Amino acid sequence: MILSESEALTFLAGVGLRAAKPVLFDSVELPEDRAETIAFPVMIKTTGAAALESGRHGFLSYAGDAGDLRRKLERMTGGTTPASRTCQRILENCIADGWVFSIDFFVDNARGLSIMTIGPSSFSIAESGVQSLSRQVEFVRDPLQPLRRYQALAMAKKAAVPAVGLRQVSDLIVQLDTLFFAKDCLRMTIDPISLGSDGKISIAGCWLELDDDGLFRHPDIQMKGTASGEPLEAKARAQGITYVELGGDIAILSAGAGATMGLVDMVHHFGGRPANFIDTMGGASIETIRNLANLVLDKAGTDPSIKVILMVMHLSATPLQPVVETFVQTITTRPPRQPIVGFLQAGGGALLNYSLTEAHSSLRKCGVQVESDLSLAIEKAVRLSGREGKRAVRTDPEIISSS
């Protein structure tokens, strides 16, 4: 999940950090009214195409009154920059003099490391009284060990943080580091951080990405955010289903994490490329089965690379009949362009008043190519995907008797 800047700042303020509350506006005709809600003096931050073209994320400036604010904005944005190209923000935290800098925490997947950096702000400073740190320092974190204050202090000194702010900056680094790991963050960029000549620190900007798979551990995070990853993954999450894109051409429709992981491995074993992993996250009710089917049909309908759907179900407690009827109804309502290969295994209470023969007959009537052996079903799906994989050993009694 990627939080918007206002959400990220609210999040930081909620855990006790001194973060700005941005007031947004998109025209130079309105800023004075907005600034009055904060009270002058204000710090202005503008972002957008003009800043990116100059190689910066944005511009910072300081305004002491309404006239000064208008002049600064006209100089920083050209006065006529469309709102679609520039988003201006007034921040309540103001530094008439002092320093700005940035702190960045992120996971380097290529190197398998947790990295933290402190250094210059990516914002261009438009005030002579405000300076940016000139050095950037990188620190490789051991995620199994807490960051010590002396380590944070050493980093702040290497980054040339002024002596008046060394203690506050090192404390902030430790707080952010703790937050980064405690909240399952993937990236946390704090930029700019303002350090006034009085030594007070304010967070004036933040970009925050949280690990979607860790959100269940943090019910306190009630943000809209933007789901990082595929749209289907976000839709599945909202329905209590785990869905992961794998990039193949065989759409997998199955239930149960262990069974589905084994199925994905078997598809690979037979030379195929599974398109997804899917799991019900605790129980397969009829409504969940319907959602599973619709998610996979959504995948098949929107992804042109999908060549075949492989449907595999292992049931022991959930009654077989309503599951099959749900599949039949869903497939009949929205038939996919791809062939469907199916395999069903059921036992115990699942077969109460309904047999596998009846289930196979119902599925075949709606176009599902049912196989009575899992290996044969996977082999057929791989073949229909256009790949020549390993051949299954035909041990199924129905196959032997018919040969």
pLDDT tens sequence across 23-80: 665 554 566 666 666 666 777 776 654 444 444 556 677 777 878 877 877 776 655 4
- 217, 240, 258 - which closes a domain: 217
Looking at the structure, tell me whether residues 245 and 393 fall in a common domain: yes
Give the pLDDT confidence of 126-160 residue by residue, as tens digits. 655 677 788 889 999 888 888 999 999 999 999 99
- In Å, how far from its chain's centre is CA 57? 22
Looking at the structure, tell me whether residues 395 and 254 fall in a common domain: yes
Which residues, including other chains, have CB under 8 Å from residue 402's CB and lie 6 or more apart? Answer: none
Stronger pLDDT, 52 or 301, i.e. the higher one = 301
Most confident of 48-57, 85-94, 191-200, 372-381: 372-381
SS3 label, residue 334: coil
Looking at the structure, tell me whether residues 287 and 200 fall in a common domain: no
Residue 17 covered by a domain: yes
Contacts 24+ apart (CB under 8 A), 344-348: 344/312, 344/313, 344/315, 344/320, 344/370, 345/313, 345/314, 345/315, 345/374, 346/313, 346/314, 346/315, 346/316, 346/320, 347/315, 347/316, 348/316, 348/317
Residue 317 covered by a domain: yes
Residue 355 covered by a domain: yes
- Quick one: which of 231, 396, 376 has its CA closest to 310? 376
Residue 255 covered by a domain: yes
Q: How many CB atoms lie within 10 A of CB 230?
A: 15
Confidence of residue 401 (pLDDT cuts 50, 70, 90): very low
CA atoms 78, 81, 83, 85: torsion sign? negative
Residue 225 covered by a domain: no
Q: Which domain holds residue 280?
A: 231-402
- 217, 252, 271 - which closes a domain: 217
pTM of the model: 0.58
The residue to which tokens 């933290």 are assigned: 116
Whole-number pLDDT of residue 365: 95
Altogether, the residues listed in the chain come to a count of 403
Looking at the structure, tell me whether residues 211 and 296 fall in a common domain: no
Number of separate domains in the chain: 2
Residue 226 covered by a domain: no
